[in-house]
Structure 1
Amino acid sequence: MSSPKLENSQSPLLQYPTQLTQDIVPKQIHSHNDYWRDVPLLTALSFGVMSVEADVWLINGTLFVGHEQQALTEDRTFDALYIQPLLKILEAQNPKTEFTFGLTSTNGPFDTAGDVPLQLLVEIKTNGTEALPFVIKALQPLRSSGYLTTATNGTLVKSAVTVVGTGNTPLDLVKTLNPRDLFYDAPLAQLINPSLNTTWDPTLSPLASDDYEAYVGWNGIGNISDDQRANITKFVGDAHSRGIMTRFWGAPAWPVSARDNIWRVLLENGVDWVNADDLEAAANL
C-alpha cells in the first residue's frame, strides 16, 4: 500500500543506494561505435548493453574519440566520454560504507547482476605502437580503484570492466604485458592458424571477432546455406574450446528484417555478442 506522505517527503528511505541500473537486465549486446549515441556509454547501459566500443585517435598526446578524424573535437576525449563516467558509475555501485567494510568483490555497472563486467573495446585508429602506452595510462583511474579485469602470470581475475584492444592494437606488445589489464581482440577465423605463433586463451583474448561478410556472407534473406552455417559453428567451436567469446562485425544492417534474421541465426549457432548499431532493436530481439 503506497503512502503519498512518504512519497512526497523526499525521504532517503526511498532512495535505493545503487539505483542507476537497478531494473536493467544485462544483455550480451555490443554497442558498435558507441560514441555515436545520444549519451555515450549511458545510453548503452540503459538498454542493458554489456559491451561498448570507442575508437581512439592519439593526437598530440591526447586520446580523442570519433569514427573519422573529421569528427574529432577538443572535448570528446577518451577520458571524458568513458573513463570518468565509468569511474563515477562504479564508485556509486561500490560505496564505501560500514556495510561494505572488508568486502573483496567488486560490482560491475549492473545492479541486477553485480558480477557481470562491462566489456570496453578500444579500437586504436592511429599507430598502435605509439598509442598503446597512452591507452594503458588512460586506464589508470580504473586500475587504481581495482575496477579492471587483470591477468597476472596466466591467472585471470575478473572485475567490473574488461578492456579489449582492437583495430591497430599491437598484439606483440599486449603479449608482453604482465600484469595485463588490456587484452587483445583475437582473429576469430584464425585461432587455429599456426603461423600466428600465438596461444589464444582468455588471459590474452577474452574475445575473438571477425568480418561477417568475409567468413559467413549470408544476406539474411531466405535460408542460410549449410556451408555458411558450418562456418559459424566452426569458428564458434574453435573459440569456445579455448574459453573465448565470439563476435562478428560488418553484417548487413538493411533491410531490418534481414538484419534481425542474421542476429537470430548467429545467436542460435552460439555466437556470444550481437554487434549492434540499433541498441533498442537488439535489446528487444
Structure 2
Amino acid sequence: MLAFLILVASWIGSSSQTPGIMDEIAMLESANSSLLRYPTAFTQNIVPKQIHSHNDYWRDVPLLTALSFGVASVEADVWLVNETLYIGHEMAALTPDRTFDSLYIQPLVSIIDGQNPKSQFTPNQTSINGVFDTASSTPLQLLVDMKTDGPSTLPFVLYALQPLRERGYLTTCESNGTCTQAPVVVVGTGNTPLAGVQALSPRDFFFDAPLTTLNSTFDITLSPIASTDYEVAVGWSGIGSINDTQLAAIKKFVGDAHSLNIRARFWDTPGWPISARNNVWKTLIDNGADWLNADDLEAAATMF
C-alpha cells in the first residue's frame, strides 16, 4: 500500500496538471502495474451463496458460469460408457470431449491450485483455500448424479476424483467420525448406491440422503445434504397463499434434516411464472431450506 501511495504521489508531483482519480486508475491499468495483480484473484469480489446449479453442465460454460454468480453447489450427470465417465442429461447428449474429467475435475484442480500459490509467503501455510477468494474456507459442493448402474459406476467416479484427492482437496470423514473440511465436498445422487458409499473408509464421497424419509442411518459423516422432489413433498405452485399443510411440510422436512446436522434441498421447484417461482424460493429460504435449487442462476443470486 505504501509503495502504491508513493507511486501515485510521484505521478502527481511530476505532472503540470494534477490528474483526477480516474486518470490515476487508467494509468495503473494501462501500465499493467504489478501493484494491481495478486495470485488469488480468479474469483475476486464473488460472494458465495447457498445456490445449487441444477443440471450445471447445460450452461454455456459449465462450472465457471456457476462460480461467477457465487453458486456454491453444482450438479453433473455422469454416464459410464466404455470405462469413461461422460457428462450429459441423456445418452443422445453425450460427446467424446465432454467428460467428468474435462468439465469438472481438471478445471477444479486448476482453480484450487491457483488459489493456493506456492511462494515465499506461504511456506508454513497449513490450510487450503477454496475456490472463493472472498470466503476461502467455504467449500464447493459437487453433486454427481449417476445415470448408469450405481455399483458399476461408483468405482470409476472414485478413481476420477484422484487428482483432487491426492492434493488434499476433498472433504474427508474417518471411520471414527472425524471429518476434515477441504475445498470440495463430493456427493453422490441419482443411482449412487448407498451401501457402496457406506463402505468407504475413509470417506471422501458422500450420499444425498432422502429428505422425506430421514432416519438414524444418516448423519453428517455420510450425508451432508438431503434432497427431495418439491412437487411431491410440498406441492404449492407459488400462486396464491401457501396453505398450513404445505408450510408445515417444509418446516418438518427442514427440521428433520437440521436435527441431524444435514442441509436440506428441494428440487423440481416451479420455474414459471417468474413471480410464482420467486414466491416459492423466498418461502423455502425463509423457512430454513439450505440450498436453493435453481436453473436461472442470475435470478437466484438476487434472492440473497
TM-score by length of 1: 0.96
1:56 aligns with one of 78, 81, 93: 78
Match of 1:72 in 2: 94
Deviation, 1:22, is 1.3
Inter-CA distance 3–223: structure 2 relative to 1 (3 Å threshold): closer
Answer with 1 or 2: which has the greater Rg. Answer: 2
Deviations 1:75-133 (A, max 9, x none): 00000000000000000101111211121111110000000000000000000000000
Q: Distance in 2 between matches of 1:277 and 1:3?
A: 37
Identity of aligned residues (%): 65
Q: Distance in 1 between matches of 2:153 and 2:103?
A: 18
More deviation, 124-133/147-156:
147-156
SS of structure 2 residue aligned to 1:50 = strand
More deviation, 154-163/7-16:
7-16
Q: Distance in 1 between matches of 2:119 and 2:169?
A: 18
What amino acid is the match of 1:224? I
Match of 1:240 in 2: 258
Match of 1:145 in 2: 167
- 2:193 matches 1:175: no
Once the two structures are superposed, the pairs formed by residues 85-100 of structure 1 within 5 Å of their partners are 85-100=107-122
Q: Distance in 2 between matches of 1:4 and 1:216?
A: 54
Q: Distance in 1 between matches of 2:27 and 2:64?
A: 32
Q: Distance in 1 between matches of 2:29 and 2:94?
A: 45
What amino acid is the match of 1:179? P
How many residues are treated as equivalent by the alignment? 280
SS of structure 2 residue aligned to 1:275 = strand
Inter-CA distance 12–130: structure 2 relative to 1 (3 Å threshold): same
Deviation, 1:30, is 0.1
Deviation, 1:4, is 4.1
Inter-CA distance 5–256: structure 2 relative to 1 (3 Å threshold): closer
SS of structure 2 residue aligned to 1:28 = strand
What amino acid is the match of 1:188? L
What are the ranges of 5 or more consecutive residues in structure 2 without an aligned counterpart?
Answer: 1-20
Q: Distance in 2 between matches of 1:105 and 1:157?
A: 11
Query: What is the RMSD of the two structures over their aligned residues, measured on CA atoms?
Result: 0.9
Match of 2:237 in 1: 219
What amino acid is the match of 2:148? T
Deviation, 1:11, is 2.4
- 2:268 matches 1:250: yes
Q: Distance in 2 between matches of 1:244 and 1:125?
A: 24
Match of 1:161 in 2: 184
Deviation, 1:16, is 2.2
Deviation, 1:7, is 2.5
- 2:221 matches 1:203: yes
Q: Distance in 2 between matches of 1:7 and 1:125?
A: 48
Q: Distance in 2 between matches of 1:268 and 1:7?
A: 43
SS of structure 2 residue aligned to 1:105 = coil
Inter-CA distance 8–219: structure 2 relative to 1 (3 Å threshold): same
What amino acid is the match of 1:61? E
Match of 2:18 in 1: none
What are the ranges of 5 or more consecutive residues in structure 1 without an aligned counterpart?
Answer: 193-197
SS of structure 1 residue aligned to 2:208 = strand
- 2:142 matches 1:120: yes
Q: Distance in 2 between matches of 1:66 and 1:246?
A: 25
TM-score by length of 2: 0.90
